[in-house]
Chains A and B, each alone.
Chain A
Amino acid sequence: MKDKTEALRNFIEESKKNTQARIDELMKDERADEARAFRAAYNIYDVFTALIGASEKKAKGDESVFVSEFKKLAVNIPSKWRESLEEARKHNDAERVMIEEAKLGSADAIVAKFEELF
Chain B
Amino acid sequence: MTDQETIVFFKCLADKSRLAILKSLLIEDMYVERLAERLGITSATISFHLKKLEEAKAVRSYKDQYYTMYTINKELFGIKVIDILREESTESELQKEREEAYRKKVISAFFEYGKLKSIPSQRKKERIVLEEIAKSFEKGKTYTEKEVNLIIADFNDDFCTIRRDMISEGILDRKDALYTKII
Q: Is A109 an interface residue (CB 8 A)?
A: no
In the complex, what residues of B have CB within 8 A of residue A98's CB?
42, 44-45, 47-48
Choose from B49, B50, B113 the contact partner of A93 (Cβ within 8 Å): B113
If A91-B113, A93-B113, A94-B51 touch, whether A30 touches B15 (CB-CB below 8 Å) is yes
- On whether the beta carbons of A33 and B48 are closer than 8 Å, the reply is yes
Is the Cβ of B15 less than 8 Å from the Cβ of A94? Answer: no
Tell me which of A30, A31, A97 contacts B44 (CB under 8 A): A97
- Among A29, A30, A94, contact of B14 (Cβ-Cβ < 8 Å): A30
Known contacts A97-B44, A97-B48, A98-B45, A29 near B16 by CB under 8 Å: yes
Distance from A83 Cβ to chain B, minimum over Cβ atoms (Å): 13
Given the known interface contacts A30-B15, A31-B15, A31-B17, the answer about A101 and B49 at a Cβ–Cβ threshold of 8 Å is no
B174 contacts chain A at the CB level, 8 A cutoff: no
- The one of A32, A87, A91, A95 in contact with B48, judged by C-beta atoms closer than 8 angstroms, is A95
- Complex formed: what's the CA distance from A6 to B92 in Å? 64
Indicate whether A34 reaches chain B with its CB closer than 8 angstroms. Answer: yes
Cβ of A110 under 8 Å from chain B:
no
> Does B57 sit within 8 A of A, measured CB to CB?
no
- The residue of chain B having its C-beta at the shortest distance from the C-beta of A33 within the complex is B15
Number of interface residues of A (CB under 8 A): 16
- Please give me the residue from chain B that is nearest to A101 by CB atom: B44
Q: Does A37 reach chain B (CB closer than 8 Å)?
A: yes
| Docked CA distance A95–B50 (Å) | 11
Cα distance, A91 to B45, chains bound together (Å): 16
Q: How far is the CB of A22 from chain B (nearest CB, A)?
A: 13
Q: Are B113 and A87 in contact (CB under 8 A)?
A: yes
Q: Which residues of B have CB within 8 Å of A37?
A: 45
How far, in angstroms, from A62 to B65 measured CA to CA in the complex?
58
- CB–CB A34/B51 < 8 A: no
- Residues on A lying within 8 angstroms of B by beta carbon are 29-34, 37, 87, 90-91, 93-95, 97-98, 101
Not counting A37-B45, A87-B113, a sample of 4 additional A-B residue pairs whose C-beta atoms are within 8 angstroms of each other reads A30-B14, A30-B16, A33-B17, A33-B52
B-side residues, CB < 8 A to A, are 14-17, 41-42, 44-45, 47-52, 113-114
The 9 closest A-B pairs by CB, nearest first: A94-B47, A94-B48, A91-B113, A94-B51, A98-B44, A30-B16, A98-B48, A97-B44, A101-B44
